[in-house]
Every structure is written in C-alpha cells, then in structure tokens.
Amino acid sequence: MEPVKEKCVGAIDVVEIGRPGPGAIKVGGETCMPFLLEEGAMPNSPVVAMEILDCEPSDWPDNLRSALGKAASDPVSWAKFAVGECGCGLICVRMQSAHPDWKNATSEAAVSILKKISKAVNVPLVVIGSGDDVKDSDLMPKVSQALKGERALLGSAAQNNYKTITATALADGHSIIAESPIDINIAKQLNILITDMGMPAHRIAMHPTTASLGYGMEYTYSIMERSRLAAFTGDRMLAMPFVLFPGAESWRVKEAKDASETGGMNWELVTSVAMLQAGADILVMRDPGAIRETMKYISNMTPKL
C-alpha cells in the first residue's frame, strides 16, 4: 500500500534565542506536521527549558520539591542544576518574586537576581513576568534592557496588553511570546498586531495557552494542529514556533499534587509528549524526571543531525 503524502507549502519560521554563537538555540523551521518526516523535515529539534523561579518555590507540591532537592533552594544553584544535571540547553526564569501577592520585590531587585542567574549559566533565556499586569508593565521593560544583547524570549504579550512588551523587546533585540486563550482567531490577530508594530515574524513564538492532561489538553492540541495546517497552506500569520508550559499547568492539578512519587512526573510527561505531537517547539518543564524522559522522547523521534 502506498502511503498518502500531503504536500506542505512553506515552513515554520525559525526563532533564534541566545547570544549568537554555538550556544544559541534555534527552534522552528519545520516543513511537515509534527514528526511526519516522510513529508518534510524538522531541521531544529524541539527543546526543553527547565522552569526556574527567581525565589524559593515554597508553594510547589512536596513530591516536585523533593525531586528538585537542594538545587531549588536558590535560583542560581537551580539554574546550574538545570543546565549541568538535567542537560537543558536553555532555561525559563519566572519572575515570581515581583508579584504583589508574593514577595512584591521591586523590579530592580528582581532584575538583579535575573542577572546573577544569567551570568552563572550563560545559556539562552526565556523570561516570563510575575503574572501581575501592572507590575509586569514596569518589570518587563527593565528585564528587556538588562538582557540587551542576550536575544531572550520574553513573555507574554496578550491581545489586550501587548504594546509595552512588544516595543521593549523590539528595541532590545529580543523575541516575544504571543499568548492567546485557546483561540486560533485571537492567536492570528495577535501576530498581526505585533508584526504591525514592526516586530519581525521570526521573533515571535506562540503560546496558545497550555492545558494539562485531563484539564483541556485536547483543546490546546487542536488549536496547534489547526495552526500548523494553516501555516502549511501558506498562512504566514500562523507560521510561528510554539512554546508551551506543561510544568506549570500539570503541577497545578490535584492528580499531580496528591500522586505518588512518580505520579506527578508522569502527569507532566504525558502532557509534554502530547504537546510535542501537536507541534511544540519549546517546552517549559519543572520535574527533572519528566524533563529527562521528554528529552529521550525527542531524541528518539527526531533525526540525528
């Protein structure tokens, strides 16, 4: 039986993160649906970034904290653990300390910790805000300026709040995460709004909102699948790489929190693998075991370059 091969038009944009050089990370560039390598190519394998908080993760579940051990006691050792022990080529720093309901750290204090992390590991960075819009509108421009030259991936721009972060990322040479609420029409519109500001399309990564296993993962999956199918019929405004946060989403759910030692890890792993099948290019993950298994999966599924 002759397998039916679909013809894909064009390619997903390539986003480059990190200072130019051997340590820089490239994602995207696919010319086929995820892993359908008979129909095209995946020149850049998906990557895993460990999520680091810029403060102690005191509200994280016990089983996750014990998997991280002493490493998570401070951001710098945590970052070193991510790169040195877990083999992550990039890390994601969540600026949680600045959240008003958390430590309410000043933007300057938070940026100072970020700079220490960056200097300690010298890998490409994904940096996301505290989650408080008002604080982040002050914080993220300062992050952007502090990391000028690092070509970081900064998050996030949303449809009703994208101008400040886009302007600052554009000025300082960073890429931007465009976040939409599991809505392909808003995802496309946001990409147009951001590119209308002068941001090149190849400096945008899409976050269609991550939903974990059992809590709406299929919705995210189908948005990503539709986006990719549209991209491969020539829609440039949906042809950006995807960044997902399976770590944060999986460890919120009770099944992960109350699970046995490996139950939570498996919850995160299954979510991550499903996202890879949907086209994820960057996975921001928390559990070292889930990271290890996900990296193994990526290695098995993609061609050895």
Partner 1 sequence: MIIIGELINGMFKDVAKAIDRRESDIIQHLASEQIAAGATALDVSVGPYSKNPKDDMKWLVESIQKAVNVPLSLDSARADVIDEGLKVAGSRAIINSTSADPEKMDSIFALAKKYKAQVIGLAMDKSGVPDDKGKRLELAATIVAKAIDFGIKPEDLFLDPIVIPVNVAQPQCKEVLESIRDFRMLCDPAPNTTLGLSNISQGAGKKNRSIINRTFLTMAMACGLSSAILDPLDKDLMDAMITAELVLNKNIYCDSFLEAYRKR
**To the nearest whole angstrom, how small is the minimum distance from the Cβ of residue 185 to partner 1?**
5
Q: How far apart are the C-alpha atoms of 35 and 301, rounded to whole Å?
A: 7
Name every residue whose Cβ is closer than 8 Å to that of residue 28 and which is 6 or more positions away in sequence. 11, 12, 13, 14, 15, 44, 202, 240, 241, 281
* 157 lies in the site for partner 1, by CB under 8 A: no
Q: How far apart are the C-alpha atoms of 58 and 176, rounded to whole Å?
A: 28
* 226 lies in the site for partner 1, by CB under 8 A: yes
**Of the two residues 69 and 234, which places its CB atom closer to partner 1 in the complex?**
234
Stretch near partner 1 under the rule CB under 8 A, chosen from 13-21, 56-64, 95-103, 229-237: 229-237
Q: Which of 273, 282, 212 is nearest to 243 (CA)?
A: 282
Name which position in 195, 262, 277, 302 contacts partner 1 (CB under 8 A): 195
**Of the two residues 130 and 209, which places its CB atom closer to partner 1 in the complex?**
209
**Of the two residues 108 and 192, which places its CB atom closer to partner 1 in the complex?**
192
Stretch near partner 1 under the rule CB under 8 A, chosen from 119-127, 206-214, 228-236, 281-289: 228-236
Note the residue count of the chain: 305
Name which position in 217, 238, 256, 273 contacts partner 1 (CB under 8 A): 238
- Footprint of partner 1 on residues 159-188 (CB under 8 A)? 184-186, 188
**To the nearest whole angstrom, how small is the minimum distance from the Cβ of residue 163 to partner 1?**
16
Distances (CA, A) of 246 to 93, 172, 191, 202, 273: 15, 28, 22, 23, 10
Name which position in 237, 244, 280, 282 contacts partner 1 (CB under 8 A): 237
**To the nearest whole angstrom, how small is the minimum distance from the Cβ of residue 194 to partner 1?**
12
Binding site for partner 1 (CB under 8 A): 184-186, 188-189, 192-193, 195, 226-227, 230, 234-238
